[in-house]
Structure 1
Amino acid sequence: MTVADQTASLARANRILVTEGVLDAFGHVSVRVTDDPDRFLLARNMAPASVTADDVMEFDLDGRSEDERRPYLERFIHSEIYRARPDVMAVVHSHSPSVIPFGVCDVELRPVFHMAGFLADGVRRFEIRDEVGEGSDLLVRNGALGAALARTLADAPVALMRGHGSVAVAGSLELAVYRAIYTEKNAAIQCQAQAMGTVEYLTVGEGRAAAATNAGQVARAWDLWSRAAAEGP
C-alpha cells in the first residue's frame, strides 16, 4: 500500500472512530508507514471528525516531523509503541466513556461476547503516577512517558490509562479500529451485565478462537463503518 493510500485510509479511520463513538474532539489514530517501519502517519493537532488526507503528517520514532504544522501533544504514545512493538501497524488512543471506569476501579475488563474475544488474555493498566508523581496532567507528552506506556502495554492489544483513556493496537489499521470500537462496546455491555448479576465471561480459549475468526472478517466491519462515516449523522 502506498503512503497516499495509507493517508486516505487514516483520514477515514478518524471519521469512523468519531461516528462509532470512540473519538470525540480528542483522541487520535495512527498507522505505521508500510515501506518504512521507522515512520508513521498521524493527523495534525485537530478534531478527528475534521481530518482529511491533507491534514496527515509523517513522523519518525522520536515523534519528530519535517512538517511544521502543530502536532498532537501525545504523539509519543504512537512513536514509542511503534518502537517497542514491531508487530504493531496501527495505534488508537481514545477516551471512550465506557472504558474509563475500568481504569479507575478494581474491576477487570474481560470479554463478555465473542466480538471482543481479543480481550481474553487480559488488558494492561498504565499508572502515570508511577512515572511522574501526583501532579501531572495525565498526558503522555514526552518519549519517556510513551516508553513507560509501551512497557505496560507489553504484548497486549489494549492498555487502560488510569483517569485518561486507553490505547488499542493491531497489525493493521482496520483491526486496530475494530479493537478500539469493540473495546468500548464490550465495556458498556460488561457494565450492564454486572448490574444484572454474576457474569459468565468468555474463557481464554473461547476468546482466542473468536478473535482468530473475527480477524478474518474485519473488512466486512470496515466497509459498514466507512459507509456510515461517509453518510454522516
Structure 2
Amino acid sequence: MIGRKIVTIGAVLVLCAALPAGARRAPALAVQKPSAEQLDPQLVGDLVAANRILAFQEIFEGYGHVSVRNARNPDRYLLSRSIAPGLVTPADVMEFDLESRPIAAGGRSLYSERFIHGEIYRSRPDVHAVVHNHAASILPFGITGVPLRPVYHMSSFVGTGVPVFDIRRAGGATDMLVSTSALGRELAATLGKGPAVLMRGHGATVVGASLPQVVGRTIYLDLNAKVQLQAMQLGGTITYLSPDEVEKILAGGEQGSYGRDWEFWRQQVMEK
C-alpha cells in the first residue's frame, strides 16, 4: 500500500504520495511565475516611479494607469495590475502582448482599459509609453467643443490642438470605458500621430517616446488646461503660441525630453 507524507513547499503544505521502492516519479510541472521577475528591473522601477509621480502630482487618484513598451520585446508592454497608481510596487508590474493579454497573470486583477495601451503600441511604433488619466482640468475641453491649445512654452507639444475621442461615435451607448480591442483601435485612430487625445466625459490619453516624456507631457498638459481655462474666465483675448513658436521650441528638444523634471519628480516619490 502506498503511504502518504506531508511536504512543505515555501509556506504551503502539500499532501504527497510516497512511492514504492523502484517506482519512477513523474517529472514535476513547471510553475509559471509572474512575469515581473524576468523583466528589466530598471524599467520596472521607472514604471513604478511614473505611477507614483502622477499620483503625487494629483493627475492620478484611485484610477488611471501608465505603461511602457518592453525594450527587450517591442511586441509587449508593461503595466501594473489593477490597483491605485500611488500604491504600485515592482511586484504589481505585469507584462502584456499587443492583444492586451497578460503573459503571466498569476491570479491578479487587470485594468479593464488596458486595450488603450495595446492598440496604441500596435498602431504607433514610435510610442514607448502611454498614460491614461481622468484629470478634472481636461474634462471641459472634451465636452464643449472649445479646443485645448498651447498657452505657454512647456506645453508646446500640444501644437495646433488636441483631438477629442467620442466613444459614442465608435461604440454607441457604452459605459464610457475603452474595454475592448475594437474601442482601443478607434481611440488610437483618433489619436493619430499626435501626442495626446481627449476623451469626451472621461479624461485623456497621452503618449511619448519614453516614460520621462509621457509623464512630463501629462503634467504639463494638465497645467496648460488649467491656465487656458483661467485665461478664458478673464474674458480677454488669449494669445496662444504660434505655429512658428511651437516649431522652434520643439526643435530645441521639448524640454530635453523632461530629463531634469524626471530626476526631480522621481526623487520626490522614490527616495524618502
Alignment correspondent of 1:37: 74
Give distance in 1, aligned partners of 2:128 and 2:72: 11
Alignment of 1:58-137 (within 5 A): 58-68=95-105, 69-134=108-173, 136-137=174-175
Structure 1 runs, 4 residues or longer, greater than 4 Å off = none
C-alpha contact 1:89 1:173 (8 A) present in aligned 2 = yes
More helix by share: 1
**Cα deviations by residue, 1:84-135 (Å, 9 ceiling, x for unpaired):** 000000000000110111001121000000000000132111010012212x
Equivalent AA in structure 1 for residue 188 of structure 2:
A
The answer on whether the counterparts of 2:150 and 2:160 sit within 8 Å (CA) in structure 1 is: no
Greater shift, 5-14 or 205-214, is seen at 205-214
Number of paired residues?
230
Q: Which residue of 1 aligns with 2:259?
A: 219
Cα RMSD, aligned residues only: 1.3
Equivalent residue letter for 1:116: S
Matched, 1:170 2:208: yes
CA distance in 1 between counterparts of 2:183 and 2:203 reads: 15
Does 2:51 align with 1:14? Answer: yes
* SS class of match (1:41): strand
Distance in 2 between the 1:32 and 1:113 partners?
30
Q: Distance in 2 between matches of 1:19 and 1:212?
A: 30
Indicate the residue corresponding to 1:53 in structure 2: 90
SS of aligned partner of 2:154? helix
**C-alpha displacement at 1:231, in angstroms?**
6.3
User: Alignment partner of 1:57: what SS?
Assistant: strand
Matched AA of 1:220: R
Report the TM-score when normalising by structure 1.
Answer: 0.95
List runs of 5+ in structure 1 lacking aligned partners: none
Counting only pairs closer than 5 Å after superposition, residues 177-196 of structure 1 correspond to structure 2 as 177-196=215-234
- Quick one: distance in 2 between partners of 1:168 and 1:3? 23
Instruction: Give the CA deviation at 1:229.
Output: 2.1
Paired with 1:90 and 1:19, the residues of 2 have a C-alpha distance of 19
Larger Rg: 2
Query: Which stretch shifts more, 59-68 or 26-35?
Result: 59-68
Deviations along 1:34-77, one digit per CA (max 9) or x if unpaired, are 12110000000000000011100000000001322111000000
> Does the CA contact (< 8 Å) of 1:116 and 1:211 recur in 2?
no
Percent of aligned pairs sharing the same letter: 47
- 1:95 alignment partner AA: H
Verify: 1:151 aligned to 2:200, yes or no. no
The letter of the residue matching 2:132 is H
Shift in alpha-carbon separation, 1:141–1:180, aligned structure 2, 3 A: same
The counterpart of 1:201, out of the listed 240, 265, 268, is 240
